[in-house]
Chain A
Amino acid sequence: MNGSRRARPDGATVAATAAALLMSLALAMIFFWVPTDIDQGYSQRIFYFHVPIALTTYTLFGWGAINAARYLWKREPSLDLKSYVPMHLGVIFGSLTLVTGSIWANISWGHWWFWGDTQLTTFLIIFLFYCAYFMLRFSVEPGERRASYSAVYALLGVGLIPLSVIGVRVAQRNELIHPITFNSNGANMDTSMFLTFLVALAAMLALAVTMYLVELRGKRIDERVRLIRRLAEEGAA
């Protein structure tokens, strides 16, 4: 018994606490502190949700691809889960990016969707690719083959993303209307706006890390329960 010793908080608890604090701070800054944009007015505040969500999506897809490469290299089953979970979360965050982007587009440009815009089109291609990833994953029986196929397809995405960016930019040049927030000279916005953006980004990343750790733990428990059930059935037989 070690009742007097306090258990150390695990990673998910720390991440969840950080996410809650940062999210509260971000919401307070977005709605009560940051100045209203002169051009777009109050609706520009959706920028503090849309862009951090989009960047979190790319981070999740990147993390999933890194773990896919690591799986093919080391063949550890845990790396397959570490590749799948960020992809799953990436699709959720990607859906939110498309929804918030459409709302912003409708307010700013008067259209829910604009095919001439490079970033929108590229993001949709990438989103479609990751939807196909799930179709593949759930078409194969769980096991080594499923893990290998998922990893191979995820790595093909690493080739597709730069090609989509270049291809759409090459083909649709001169039609760019997406606001350029960051360029080679740095952030193209007021200091308070940039600070709010950074806090919102940190909050979104912390939320993603929390969801990643919780889902990973859930999947591991699920695997163990399946194993115990299988062993129990074998024992009964």
Chain B
Amino acid sequence: MRAYRALLRKDLLLELRGRELVPAMLAFVLGALMLVRFGLGGETLAGGTRAATGLLWVVVVFTSMLALVRSFAPEREHGIWDGLLAAPIDRAAIWAARATATLLFLVITQLVALPLFWLFFLQEGRSPSLPVLAAALLLADLGVAMLGALLAGMASQVQAREVLLPVLFLPFSLPLVTVAVRVTVDTISLQPSGLSAVQGLGFLALYDTIFGLLGWALFEYVVEE
């Protein structure tokens, strides 16, 4: 637990001092939402459609990719890996700290992205049901962060890492997005999805549990000397 706290502090301090990731993610979210808005030829999606919800989740996934691609970059670029691996700590602590840091970065980004999304696409629609939307985003972010930390650990030690990580991650995002879109449709749009919020959130929690356990158990095989 001490190792986890120290590593998390290190990750957060690096971001606080370097400001590499979060500003880039915020700029990416703004750019992606504007791109979607203009890409639709200025057509408003107000009134709420399934497409509007889908667009939100596509932007969430691609923003996550940005965070994951830079995961473990300081370890790689500054030769921190050797020190981490030589330290007498549980390897799972490295994974847990990285997953927590990624989760925090994603939450910060979405705190900005959600109001922007409402402003760009939903002003004329109904007000979103915030508790369900927030719970879905939080659960999805947790799953992305835990699985992403494992995959990023692998990709960080491969030559074509920037290309490889999205390829490795996208198949896993498909069931997540499929359910997340359905569970958030009712919170934003006027077209009911027919899926209860509890069922949808339950699936997202199951996703987190499975990939949390797999990430925790398998990370030590990813960072062998």
Contacts and interface: CB of A to CB of B under 8 A. Distances in A.
A139 B162 CA distance: 12
A153 B167 CA distance: 12
Interface residues of B, number: 34
Interface in B208-225: 210-211, 214, 218, 221-222, 224
B66 interface: no
A173 B207 CA distance: 19
A171 B195 contact: yes
Contacts of A153: 154, 168
A145 B159 contact: no
Interface stretch (B115-123, B131-139, B173-181): B173-181
* Residue picked from A151, A152, A164, A168, most chain B C-beta under 10 Å: A152
Contacts of A174: 194
Contacts of B182: 170-171
Nearest to B218: A152
Given A152-B221, A167-B179, A159 B164 contact: no
A72 B164 contact: no
A166 B170 contact: no
A159 to B, nearest CB: 4
A72 B221 CA distance: 8
A171 B176 CA distance: 10
A231 interface: no
Interface in A132-177: 132, 135-136, 139-140, 144-145, 148-149, 151-153, 155-156, 159-160, 162-164, 166-168, 170-174
B167 A168 contact: no
Nearest to A159: B210
A166 B179 CA distance: 10
A128 interface: yes
Contacts of B181: 171
B105 to A, nearest CB: 22
Contacts of B58: none
Interface residues of A, number: 33
Interface in B144-185: 147, 150, 154, 157-160, 164, 167-168, 170-172, 174-176, 178-179, 181-182
Contact of B206 (A72, A155, A160, A166): A166
B219 to A, nearest CB: 9
B175 A125 contact: yes
Contact of A128 (B171, B206, B207, B222): B171
A136 B203 contact: no
A174 B192 CA distance: 14
A129 interface: yes
A156 B217 CA distance: 11
Contacts, number: 93
Nearest to A148: B221
A148 B214 contact: no
Nearest to B217: A155
Residue of B154, B168, B171, B199 most packed against chain A (CB within 10 A)? B171
Given A136-B164, A152-B222, A174-B194, A167 B211 contact: no
Contacts of A125: 171, 174-175
B206 A136 contact: no
A160 B175 contact: yes
Contact of B221 (A135, A151, A163, A168): A151
Interface string A170-192: 11111000000000000000000
A139 B206 contact: no
A171 B160 CA distance: 34
Contacts of A129: 171-172
A139 B211 contact: no
A135 B158 CA distance: 11
9 contacts: A132-B168, A145-B157, A148-B222, A152-B222, A156-B214, A170-B182, A170-B199, A171-B179, A173-B194
Interface of B: 147, 150, 154, 157-160, 164, 167-168, 170-172, 174-176, 178-179, 181-182, 194-195, 199-200, 203, 206-207, 210-211, 214, 218, 221-222, 224
Interface of A: 72, 121, 125-126, 128-129, 132, 135-136, 139-140, 144-145, 148-149, 151-153, 155-156, 159-160, 162-164, 166-168, 170-174
